[in-house]
Chains A and B, each alone.
Chain A
């Protein structure tokens, strides 16, 4: 039965890969770039899906973990000369370690104490960049990128544009992340996370080691965040301005809007966060609004959506669809 599950997940991943690849071939450069940002947010939001959605712990500092991934990747590329595949793997490992450290501290805290600590961490880590300017490049940051597309790909697919290559380079990692996420979700680990989320005391009575589960969740979530951070950084620059506090909040927003408890929700959330400003501009562009209004319109709409979601449909878009489906069976 387990094998059957895995095949199902592999199939879903392949379909995902194919669809995005196809979109990468037919979309215009701007939207190719947007799509690669969607993939990056998708992986980042997955960290929140696991941490908050499945395990019920709140973190306002996932952006900081993304920074860890991004900086590690950049440092490895620049100082050790490794290619981006190797650097990303090392970056993820570094994030796992960071997540472990974070988890040990955080697992003893709950609710607002956890939120507060992660918030301060989200600010402290980027400030390290200014503290050790020579290593981290201070405010300016470090430049890295995916390099040029490999020969075999361009000969197979034809000429590859800059944004297109960003997308194609990001896609395999996003797909791997998806596959891992799908497996984790249905696994026994996933079930014990849900148990801890819903009833900590009951879970501990059934022999679940609550502390260990919480730490493990942080580790896993950090891995996803670190991967997202590395992918984000490889778009060109790794610096404090790339991982501001608003990034952590954007991840949380996307997770809630799309649906905190499902992988599909994470993807929908990523799409919403990335394409909402474009969508709003498309609608309001013809209204001839003053620049001060149009500048802030996306943020305003996002805020309103967030509140409406939380008050009317806390399970997000994915949750709402699921509910609708099961009611009309």
Chain B
């Protein structure tokens, strides 16, 4: 029973981080039609900045918000400097096929990831950084017993839930949120309504950048930070979006939690080297039964 509870709580906590990553990926996919493989690179970079601030005596929360700002700035920069010029390029024959038009931004994001990782290496010499948690990371005591989760786990889940609530309110109740939804669903009608779809796209990148920094900040106390540690999290987060449905924000979140729990259970009841096999099995089952993902919409399956 103790094992089960540990698995559940650890899975929920890590699942909430994957949910955040998935959120960022779905945002950019819906807003810009791109899978941003550089996302965790942005997270890693902003977390390094935060960690440097803390090393220089600033408080956790200042570092926290600076990291979010850096992530947002990176996201915006990627859209303005790379993605916009990319989508403007219609002349080249190689971009004639829809398959290539989808592939090319992926390759670009891989390039950006490489740049971010090497930049981090150059600036911080790939030092493994520790990163503090703002609350205790020891098992909580509850009625005299030590529970299999910590105050920090609750902190993480709490922040992710708050983020989800804020994003949902933003998308459903604000004008900008409506503009973003409209641009993602039908850019032509959106433009004819006077919506500046390219600015909206940049906003998607910016918000996604903030979300990914958040994920980076929340995951690092439990993992040491170095230029490559977050790669795996991106892959798992991406799998979460595929399972949940690439164009669905709630789908990505659900996918994140599912994966978190699956990985946790595999870790506890089997061995860590089975994790990717389990993920692959889950992925294949979902895609076999529902190729568009759990909450995905049918038309998006084909590029």
- A303 and B114 within 8 A (CB): yes
Residues of B47-101 at the interface with A, using a CB-CB cut-off of 8 Å, are 82, 85-86, 89, 92-97, 99-100
Q: Which residues of A contact B99 (CB under 8 A)?
A: 56-58, 110-111, 197
Given contact pairs A253-B110, A260-B94, A296-B121, A311 touches B86 in the complex (Cβ within 8 A)? yes
Which of B97, B111, B241 contacts A198 (CB under 8 A)?
A: B97
Query: Which residues of A in the span 96-117 have a Cβ within 8 Å of any Cβ on B?
Result: 105, 108-113, 115-117
Contact yes or no, A299 B291, CB < 8 A: no
Whether, in the assembled complex, A263 has its beta carbon less than 8 Å from a beta carbon of chain B, the answer is no
Question: Which residues of chain B from 166 to 217 have any CB-CB distance to chain A below 8 Å in the complex?
Answer: none
In the bound complex, CA of A292 to CA of B110 (Å):
22
A328 on interface, CB distance cutoff 8 Å: no
B273→A130 contact, CB < 8 A: yes
Within the assembled complex, what's the spacing in Å between the Cα atoms of A245 and B96?
Answer: 29
- The reply to whether the CB of A23 lies closer than 8 angstroms to some CB of chain B is no
Q: Report the minimal beta-carbon distance from B38 to chain A, rounded to whole angstroms.
A: 10
Contact B112 A307 (CB under 8 A): yes
Residues of chain B with a CB closer than 8 A to A296's CB: 117-119, 121-122, 126
CA distance A124 to B284 in the complex (A): 12
Chain A residues with CB under 8 Å of B284's CB are: 105, 117
B104 touches A307 (CB 8 A): no
Q: Flag whether B140 is at the interface (Cβ < 8 A).
A: no
Neighbour of A300 across the interface among B115, B125, B301, CB < 8 A? B115
Tell whether, in the assembled complex, residue B114 and residue A306 are in contact, meaning their CB atoms are under 8 Å apart.
yes
Q: Which residues of A contact B96 (CB under 8 A)?
A: 198
Give CA–CA (A131, B241) in the complex, Å. 27
Please give me the residue from chain B that is nearest to A260 by CB atom: B94
* Most interface-central of B104, B112, B276, B283 (chain A CB within 10 A): B276
When the two chains form their complex, are residues B97 and A131 in contact, meaning their CB atoms are under 8 A apart?
no
Question: In the complex, which residues of chain A have a beta carbon less than 8 angstroms from the beta carbon of B17?
Answer: none
Report the separation of the CA atoms of residues A314 and B48 in the bound assembly, to the nearest whole angstrom.
32
Interface size bucket, B side?
35 or more
Interface residue? B106 (CB, 8 A) = yes
What residues on A are CB-neighbors of B131 within 8 Å? none
How far apart are the CA atoms of A304 and B235 in the complex, in Å? Answer: 23
Complex CA–CA separation, A249 to B231 (angstroms): 13
Chain A min CB distance to B227 (Å)? 8
Report yes or no: B125 in contact with A124, Cβ–Cβ below 8 A.
no
Contact A120:B235 (CB < 8 A) given known A113-B291, A307-B82 = yes
Contact with B along A105-145 (1 / 0, CB 8 A): 10011111101110111011001101100000000000000
Q: With the chains together, A261 CA to B42 CA distance in Å?
A: 31
- Taken residue by residue from 259 to 280, chain B's Cβ proximity to chain A (1 for < 8 Å, 0 otherwise) reads as 0000000000001011111011
Please encode chain A, from 199 to 239, with 1 for each CB lying within 8 Å of some chain B CB and 0 for all others. Answer: 10000000000000000000000000000000000000000
B86 x A315 contact (CB < 8 A)? no
Known: A113-B291, A315-B93. A306 touches B111 (CB 8 A): yes
CA distance A60 to B104 in the complex (A): 13
B287 at interface, CB cutoff 8 A? yes
| Closest CB in chain A relative to B303 CB, distance in Å | 3
Main secondary structure of the interface of B (DSSP, over half): helix
Q: Give the contacting residue for B277; candidates A52, A131, A293; CB below 8 A.
A: A131
Q: Interface code B218-233, partner A: CB below 8 Å = 1, 0 otherwise?
A: 0000000000000100
Q: How far is the CA of A296 from the CA of B106 in the complex (A)?
A: 22
Given A113-B246, A297-B118, A311-B85, also A306-B108 (CB < 8 A): yes
Within the complex, the shortest CB–CB distance from B149 to chain A, in Å, comes to 27
- List CB contacts (< 8 Å) of B135-180 with chain A: none
> Is residue A252 within 8 Å, beta carbon to beta carbon, of the partner chain?
yes
Q: Tell me which residues across on chain B come within 8 A of A160, comparing CB atoms.
A: none
Quote the shortest CB–CB distance from A115 to chain B (angstroms): 6
Contact assessment for B276 and A120 in the assembled complex, using a CB-CB cutoff below 8 Å: yes
Bound CA span A130–B277, Å: 11
Q: Find residues 280-294 in chain A having any chain B CB closer than 8 Å to their own CB.
A: 292-293
Min CB–CB distance A10 → chain B (angstroms): 29
Nearest-neighbor residue (CB-CB) of A138 within chain B: B273
Q: B113: CB under 8 A from chain A?
A: yes
Q: Is the CB of B287 within 8 A of A109?
A: yes
Q: Least Cβ distance of B242 to chain A in Å?
A: 4
In the assembled complex, the Cα of A110 lies from the Cα of B287 at a distance in Å of 11
A131, A198, A303: most-surrounded residue (chain B CB, <10 A): A303
The answer on a CB contact under 8 Å between A117 and B112 is no
Q: Could you tell me the distance between the alpha carbons of A292 and B124 in the complex, rounded to whole angstroms?
A: 8
Are B107 and A117 interface neighbours, CB within 8 A?
Answer: no
Say yes or no for A319: interface residue by CB 8 A criterion: yes
Q: Which of B276-303 contact A (CB under 8 A)?
A: 276-277, 279-280, 283-284, 287, 291, 293, 301-303
Most buried by A among B104, B112, B118, B238: B118
Pairs A–B under 8 Å by Cβ, sample size 5: A111-B99, A130-B273, A252-B110, A296-B117, A303-B115
Closest 10 CB pairs of A and B: A56-B99, A303-B114, A111-B303, A306-B111, A303-B115, A300-B118, A296-B121, A292-B125, A296-B118, A130-B273
Task: Please name 8 further chain A to chain B contacts, defined as beta carbons within 8 Å, in addition to the given A109-B301, A302-B114, sorted by A numbering.
Answer: A58-B99, A111-B302, A112-B29, A116-B242, A124-B277, A260-B100, A303-B111, A310-B107
B residues neighboring A (CB under 8 Å):
29, 35, 82, 85-86, 89, 92-97, 99-100, 102-104, 106-108, 110-115, 117-119, 121-122, 125-126, 231, 235, 238-239, 241-242, 246, 271, 273-277, 279-280, 283-284, 287, 291, 293, 301-303
